[in-house]
Every structure is written in C-alpha cells, then in structure tokens.
Amino acid sequence: MTSLEPPLPVPDDDVLDAAASALVDGVATPEEAALVAASPGGAARLAALQAVSEAVGRPGPTQDPAAAASTLAAALAAFDAAGTGQATGGDGPDPDQAAHGPRPSGLANTAVPDLASDGDAPGSASPGNDEDGDGREAADEGRGNVHALTPRRGSPTSVRWLPRLGAVAAALVLLVGIAVLTVDLLGKAGDSGTSTNDVAAGPTSVAAAPPGVAEGGAAMARTDVMPSMLLDGGSFGNETAVEAIALRAAAALDNPPVPGPADALPPTSDLQRCLDAVAATMTNEVLGTLYQAEGTFQGVPALAIAYDRVGDPPRLLLVLARSDCALLERTPF
C-alpha cells in the first residue's frame, strides 16, 4: 500500500467500495473478495475503508462526570416517579440532582419523548412531525419496537453460571463507585500474593487487590474478576489476519467443547505470564470463559486470548508475542 487516497469516485467505485466495505466487516462473498483482489485500486480502497472503520471505531470523548451523574440521576428519578423503586441503598446519585444538577440544558424532569414505545403509542418522539423530510416519522418507523434478533453470541457454557448469578450481581454492585477498575485476568499470583486458586472459583470471584498492587505506585483501585473456565483452542496455525483468529475464537466461544477449570492453568505457563503482563491495561472487563490458542501471527510466535467482556463489541481478542508478551493486536469483535 502506498497511499490511502481513494480513486476518483466514478460509478464503478460503488461496486468496488461495497465489496471492500464488506471485506472490512468480514461479510464479503468470494466474488466480492475476488473483485477487490483483481481491481487495480482494490487494495487501496480496502485500506482506505479499513482506516475509516478504525477511525470511527476509536473511542471518542467521554461524558463529563458531572453530566453523566446528572443523566443517571434523571433516569433514576424517572424510576422513582414511576413508583416502582425500592429503597435498596444509597450509593446511587441523589434523584434531586435531576432537578438541580448541572445539566447543560435543564432537561431533567422535563417531558421526554417515548422513544421506546410502539409507533402508534401516544407520546412518541416528535409526534406528528416529519421534519427531516424523509417521510418517516421516528415513531411511525417503529424504531422503538422490540423485535426478535439473531443474537451475536450466547454460550452453552453460560448455563453453568446460573447458580453464580446472584453473586455476580453482588460483585457488580461492589464495583459501583470505584473510580478506576483494573481487571486482572488470572490474578497477580506472582506479584500480589494472590494465588490462582484464590481467584479461580468462577466469574463471581472478585478479589480486592491488596494495597500496593497497582503498578508503578499509582493509587489505582484494582479488582480482579476471574474467568470461570479456560477454553483451549489449540493451534491457530500460521496466520497473518487477526480476523481469522477472531473468527476461530468466536466459533469456539459460541460452541465450546467442555472447557477446563480456570485453576488448571499452571501459573508458570506462557499464558499466565502474558496475562499478567497485559492485565493492567484491561479495565472494566468481566470475564467468563477465556479462550486461548497459540500459533504464529505475522511470523511471530504468538498467543491468542479472547473473552467475553462488558463492552461493545462484547468480545475482545488479544494477540501477544510469546517471547515478551508484547501486544501485537487488540481487536474487539
């Protein structure tokens, strides 16, 4: 690739771009892949659209904490106003913030469009208006309706978690209010004194990090949330495309063979070592089953680690060099 400049937008480019965009998303047909490969500008267009996808996918600004608290307070106030709330604790925002918080436009406690209602429900968004001229009123379009979707994920393994769900909820409650959470995949057995067995009881194993565990002396609260299961994906062979590894991981996580318990992982293994190396970079992530595989990635002996997380997309793939655990790829998928 020598340039990301796209070719001039002639009509044929629509077809090429459609194929390249489908390749970016991993949904291209063989014909589309062949079209991109055979077109003189195909590689450049693919790179350009891939760059666009990555740029849009990069995390943008985050909400001002005060505004975020106010937003949440307004929602909880709406809950309270509906008369369904239970007094279950006081660590949430004060509902009064809804009226007095630093909302930029004072929308708290004001009428809110019924964005989730059926199209013909009263109170729908922008009732009677079609100001965007697209002939589709938001409510009439039924975008607020709930329909069955083909789930992107769902693991039979998760059935095993059912008895632990109550504890999961409790663990999540414990996480509320912590300014920065760092998730340590398999524990800092080596440097924090927490043994693997201490934290391998399942996804509900939440071990508050001992003082001083934060690396570099940073005053950072750490909470370790451990996977319940390890899923050995074997070898992914010799790959150059991280997407191929992600597909393999997704297939395994969606239809896993019987995984082994997390505490079966030898603390001295490459995986444990590399998890320890990268754990500090992982925040706000809760693990269930951890997929691991090994192979060669772009010529480098590597480990692949994938897991479900609390985030969108809901899975993350890490490809790490076996030699020094350097992060080669980090791909949400």
Residues 28-57 interacting with another protein (rule: CB under 8 A)? 36-37, 43, 46-57
State yes or no: residue 324 binds another protein (CB under 8 A): no
Cβ–Cβ under 8 Å, residues 68 and 22: no
CB 50, min distance to another protein, A = 7
State yes or no: residue 333 binds another protein (CB under 8 A): yes
DSSP state of 177: T
* Whole-angstrom distance, CA of residue 28 vs CA of residue 101: 48
State yes or no: residue 221 binds another protein (CB under 8 A): no
* Whole-angstrom distance, CA of residue 246 vs CA of residue 236: 10
Cα 46 to Cα 43, 83, 142: the distances in Å are 5, 53, 35
Q: Which two tokens stand for residue 297?
A: 């990635």
Instruction: Count the site residues for another protein by CB under 8 A.
Output: 121
State yes or no: residue 142 binds another protein (CB under 8 A): yes
Cis upstream peptide for 313 (omega within 30°)? yes
Closer CB to another protein, 114 or 198, in the complex: 114
State yes or no: residue 27 binds another protein (CB under 8 A): yes
Neighbours of 16 (CB within 10 A): 23
Closer CB to another protein, 49 or 279, in the complex: 49
| 26 torsion bin: left (phi>0), alpha (psi -120 to 50), beta (else) | left
CB 193, min distance to another protein, A = 29
CB 311, min distance to another protein, A = 7
CA angle at residue 113 from 110 to 116, to 5 degrees?
135
* Binding mask of the shown chain, residues 90 to 129, with x at each position contacting another protein by CB under 8 A: -xxx---------xxx-xx---xxxxxx-------xx--x
* Whole-angstrom distance, CA of residue 185 vs CA of residue 305: 10
State yes or no: residue 208 binds another protein (CB under 8 A): no
Instruction: Give kind and range of the element (H or E) at residue 201.
Output: none
State yes or no: residue 238 binds another protein (CB under 8 A): no
State yes or no: residue 215 binds another protein (CB under 8 A): no
Of 238, 283, 298, 323, the one binding another protein by CB under 8 A: 298
State yes or no: residue 258 binds another protein (CB under 8 A): no
CB 217, min distance to another protein, A = 27
Of 30, 40, 122, 151, the one binding another protein by CB under 8 A: 151
Instruction: Give kind and range of the element (H or E) at residue 307.
Output: strand 300-308
State yes or no: residue 1 binds another protein (CB under 8 A): yes
Of 29, 63, 197, 235, the one binding another protein by CB under 8 A: 63
State yes or no: residue 155 binds another protein (CB under 8 A): yes
Question: Helix 30-38 vs helix 12-24: angle between axes, to the nearest 10 degrees?
Answer: 120
CB 221, min distance to another protein, A = 16
* Whole-angstrom distance, CA of residue 284 vs CA of residue 292: 20
**Residues β-bridged to residue 306:** 291, 317
* Whole-angstrom distance, CA of residue 258 vs CA of residue 5: 48
Q: What residues contact residue 28 under an 8 Å CB cut-off, 6+ apart? A: 19, 22, 36
CB 224, min distance to another protein, A = 17
Closer CB to another protein, 162 or 268, in the complex: 162
* Binding mask of the shown chain, residues 71 to 90, with x at each position contacting another protein by CB under 8 A: xx-xxx-xxx-x-xxxxxx-
Closer CB to another protein, 42 or 187, in the complex: 42
Of 12, 100, 156, 323, the one binding another protein by CB under 8 A: 156
